[in-house]
C-alpha cells in the first residue's frame, strides 16, 4: 500500500512536491494525503516546505485569486466570509462517536459511521479545478515534549496564509520525527465560491472531528473558527489525547506578571467570550505569551505550560487606543495582518465597531457595498463591521511579547491560574481559592458568564461554561474535571487558583471598577503567589487587605483607592453565593453524566460556611467584619 501511495503522490504532485514529501519518512502521512487528494481531486498540489519563497507564494496566491485584497497600509490585507458564514457553526460541528459511546448533552456529537459517509460524499471532487495546499505545522514549540506535528490539506490560500501566521512551521519537525510522528490531520475545502470569493453552499457546511483517526474535516465554509483547523478544532483532538496521557489542553491565556525586583511570574487565565481575555493577556505593563490555548504538563514536580500558537486570531470589536494600547499600536503598524469582515473605506483603510473616530459614510464590509443605515432582509440595520470581525497577526507585532517564553521548549513554570466570567452580582473582583481542589471546583468547574445584549439580544442570562472550555470538550465533563483535579497530585509547587470578576455592578447597574483596575488585581495575585502579602479569610476564599490594594492602586495606576470603594467591591454577598451553588449543583445533577461526588462535597462545604457566616454577620458581610 505504501508503494502505491508514493506512486500516486508522485504522479499527482509532480517532482518537486513529491521530493519534499519523500523527505518525510512517514507512511501514515503519505497514506492520508493519497487518500484525500484522490477523494477531493484538485488539479494542482502545492507542498509547503516552510521556505520564505513558499510562504510568499501562498500570500501572493491569496491576492491573485481574490481570497484576500491589499489594503493601504503595507502588508495589511482584507478577507471576507460569506454573510451567513461569520461564526462557529455549532449545529454542523460535531465529535464523531462510534455506536455505544456518548458524551454529555452540552457537547455536540454525531454518529461516526453516518458522519464519515456524509463528509466523504461532500468532499468528493470538491477541489476539482482548484489548487490544493499541503502545509505542515507544529502545535507548541518545536523540539519539545509539547510538540504535536499537524498537516493541513486545504484549497483555500486564505486558510493556508492564516495558519502560517498563527502556527510554527512544522515541515522539519515532520522530517525529524519521521515514522514516530503522531500527527493531527486536517482536511478543508471552501467549496464552490460566489462572485465575492466566499463559500456558496452553506447548506452543505460540515465541521467534523474524528477522535479515532485524529482527523478534522471542514467543508463549504471559510470563517476561521470553522476552517483554521489547528485552533479550536485541534483542541478537541488534544483534550482527548491529553486525557489518556496525563496532560491538559486548556482554553487559557499565558502572561507574565512582573513582580518586585524584576521577578517574573507566569499566569494562566480562562475567560469565556467577551469577558476580557485578550485585554488581560495584553495588560499594560505586563508581557503576553499567548491569548488563547495552552498545553500543560507536569515536569520535575512543577506545572509548565506552552502557547500552542505563535499568533492571534482576535476579535476586533471594541479595540480602541485608550483601552487596548498594545493591540491598537500593532494594528496600525505596517506588517503582515489579515483583517476579516471589517469595513474597508474607498481609500483602503479599515473601520470596525468601537474604533476611535467617526464611522465612515460608506465602504465595503461583510454585507457587500455598505452605507450608513443599510438594512438586512429582516429590516435590521447592518453595523459597520460584523460583531465577530477578526484580525490575524503574529505575536511578534506586539511590543510586550515575551518571545523567549513563547518559544521555550520547556514551557514556563505556572505560578497561578485565574478563572473569570461576566458576573454582575456575586463574585468579588479578585479572590484566592483555599487550595487546588477548592479552586478547580468553585472557580473553574462553577464558572458562569452573563450574556450581553450585543450578542444575544437579551442581557444578563447566566450561561454555565466550566473552565471556559465547555464548547471544546471531546471527553465527558466528569472525566475532564477529574483530570484537572488529579493534575496537582505529586507536585512540588502547586499553582494558586484565583477567581476574578471585572463586571461587578452596584444597585444602579453601574460597574464598580474601571477597566484598568485589573492591573492592580494581577499585581496583588503575583504577591500572593510568593506569600508577600496577607489576606482575609471569607467563606468563599481569600480576599485582599485594604492597605495592600490602596498601596498598589497608587503604585500601579497613580490613583487613590477609597475604603468605601473597597468595602462595596469586596463585600461577600451571601444570598447570591447560595443561589449560585444551587444553580451549579442542579446543572451537575441534571446535565452531567456520572457527576463526581467531590463536586457536591466541596460545594456543600462552601454552602455550610456561607450559612454559618450568614447567621453570625448577616446577608452582606463587609471585609472589616472578618479581620
10 Å Cβ neighbour count for 216? 25
* CA distance to 236, 449, 507, 539, 598, per residue, from 604 (Å): 32, 22, 29, 12, 10
460: left (phi over 0), alpha (psi -120 to 50) or beta: left
φ, ψ (nearest 5 deg) of residue 103: -120, 170
Distance of CA 502 to the CA centre of its chain: 19
Residue in 40, 135, 138, 275 annotated catalytic = 275
Angle 15-22/27-40 helices, nearest 10 degrees?
Answer: 150
Distance of CA 241 to the CA centre of its chain: 18
Among residues 448, 387, 417, the alpha carbon closest in space to that of 580 is found at 448
Q: Is 135 a catalytic residue?
A: no
> Exposed e or buried b for every residue in 179-211, given b needs 16+ CB within 10 A?
eebebbbbbbbbbebeeebbbbbbebbbbbbbb
Give the DSSP letter string of 334-379: SS-EEEESSEE-TTS-EE-TT-SSPPPSEEEETTEEEETT-B-TTS
Give the Cα separation of 527 and 548 in Å (integer).
Answer: 10
Angle 15-22/2-13 helices, nearest 10 degrees?
Answer: 140
For the chain, how many helices (H) and strands (E)? 20, 33
Grid-cell match 474524528, residue found: 210
Residues annotated as part of the active site: 275
Amino acid at each position: 500500500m505504501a508503494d502505491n501511495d508514493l506512486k500516486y503522490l508522485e504522479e499527482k504532485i509532480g517532482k518537486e512536491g513529491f521530493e519534499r514529501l519523500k523527505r518525510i519518512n512517514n507512511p501514515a502521512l503519505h497514506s492520508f494525503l493519497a487518500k484525500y487528494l484522490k477523494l477531493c481531486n484538485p488539479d494542482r498540489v502545492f507542498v509547503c516546505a516552510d521556505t520564505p519563497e513558499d510562504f510568499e507564494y501562498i500570500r501572493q496566491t491569496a491576492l491573485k485569486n481574490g481570497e484576500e485584497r491589499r489594503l493601504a497600509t503595507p502588508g495589511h490585507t482584507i478577507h471576507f466570509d460569506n454573510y451567513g458564514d461569520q461564526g462557529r457553526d455549532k449545529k454542523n460541528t460535531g465529535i464523531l462517536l462510534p455506536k455505544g459511546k456518548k458524551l454529555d448533552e452540552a457537547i455536540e456529537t454525531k454518529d461516526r459511521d453516518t458522519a464519515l459517509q456524509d463528509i466523504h460524499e461532500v468532499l468528493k471532487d470538491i477541489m476539482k479545478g482548484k489548487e490544493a495546499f499541503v502545509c505542515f505545522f507544529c502545535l507548541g514549540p518545536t523540539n519539545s515534549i509539547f510538540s504535536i506535528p499537524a498537516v493541513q490539506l486545504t484549497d483555500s490560500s486564505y486558510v493556508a496564509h492564516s495558519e502560517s501566521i498563527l502556527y510554527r512551521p512544522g515541515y522539519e519537525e515532520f522530517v525529524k520525527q519521521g515514522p514516530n510522528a503522531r500527527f493531527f490531520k486536517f482536511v478543508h475545502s471552501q467549496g464552490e465560491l460566489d462572485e465575492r470569493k466566499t463559500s456558496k453552499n452553506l447548506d452543505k457546511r460540515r465541521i467534523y472531528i474524528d477522535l479515532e483517526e485524529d482527523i478534522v474535516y471542514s467543508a463549504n465554509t471559510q470563517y476561521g473558527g470553522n476552517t483554521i483547523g489547528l485552533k479550536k478544532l485541534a483542541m478537541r483532538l488534544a483534550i482527548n489525547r491529553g486525557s489518556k496521557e496525563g496532560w491538559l489542553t486548556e482554553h487559557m491565556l499565558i502572561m507574565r506578571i512582573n513582580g518586585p525586583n524584576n521577578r517574573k511570574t507566569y499566569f494562566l487565565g480562562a475567560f469565556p467570550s467577551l469577558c476580557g481575555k485578550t485585554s488581560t493577556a495584553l495588560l499594560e505593563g505586563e508581557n503576553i505569551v499567548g491569548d488563547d490555548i495552552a498545553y500543560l504538563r507536569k515536569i520535575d514536580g512543577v506545572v509548565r505550560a506552552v502557547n500552542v500558537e505563535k499568533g492571534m486570531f482576535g476579535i476586533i470589536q471594541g479595540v480602541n487606543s485608550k483601552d487596548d494600547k498594545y493591540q491598537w499600536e500593532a494594528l496600525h503598524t505596517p506588517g503582515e495582518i489579515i483583517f476579516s469582515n471589517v469595513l474597508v473605506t474607498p481609500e483602503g483603510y479599515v473601520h470596525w465597531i468601537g474604533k476611535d473616530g467617526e464611522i465612515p459614510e460608506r465602504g465595503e464590509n461583510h454585507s457587500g457595498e455598505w452605507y450608513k443605515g443599510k438594512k438586512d432582509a429582516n429590516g435590521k440595520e447592518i453595523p459597520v463591521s460584523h460583531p465577530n470581525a477578526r484580525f490575524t497577526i503574529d505575536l511578534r507585532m506586539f511590543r510586550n511579547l515575551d518571545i523567549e517564553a513563547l518559544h521555550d521548549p520547556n514551557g514556563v513554570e505556572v505560578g497561578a491560574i485565574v478563572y473569570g466570567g461576566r458576573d454582575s452580582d456575586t463574585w468579588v473582583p479578585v479572590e484566592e481559592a483555599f487550595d487546588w481542589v477548592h479552586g478547580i471546583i468553585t472557580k473553574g468547574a462553577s464558572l458562569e458568564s452573563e450574556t450581553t445584549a450585543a450578542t444575544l439580544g437579551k442581557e444578563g442570562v447566566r450561561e454555565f461554561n466550566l473552565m471556559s472550555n465547555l464548547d471544546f470538550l471531546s471527553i465527558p465533563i466528569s472525566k475532564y474535571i477529574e483530570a484537572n483535579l488529579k493534575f496537582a497530585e505529586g507536585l512540588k509547587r502547586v499553582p494558586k487558583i484565583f477567581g476574578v470578576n471585572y463586571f461587578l455592578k452596584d444597585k444602579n447597574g453601574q460597574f464598580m471598577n474601571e477597566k484598568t483596575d485589573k492591573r492592580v488585581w494581577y499585581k496583588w495575585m503575583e504577591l500572593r503567589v510568593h506569600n508577600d502579602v496577607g489576606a482575609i479569610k471569607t467563606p468563599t476564599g481569600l480576599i485582599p487587605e485594604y492597605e495592600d490594594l490602596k498601596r498598589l492602586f497608587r503604585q500601579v495606576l497613580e490613583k487613590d483607592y477609597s475604603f468605601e470603594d473597597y468595602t462595596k467591591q469586596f463585600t461577600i454577598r451571601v444570598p447570591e453565593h447560595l443561589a449560585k451553588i444551587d444553580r451549579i449543583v442542579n446543572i451537575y445533577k441534571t446535565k452531567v453524566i456520572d457527576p463526581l461526588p467531590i463536586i457536591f462535597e466541596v460545594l456543600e462545604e462552601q454552602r455550610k460556611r456561607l450559612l454559618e457566616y450568614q447567621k453570625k454577620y448577616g446577608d452582606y458581610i463587609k471585609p472589616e467584619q472578618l479581620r
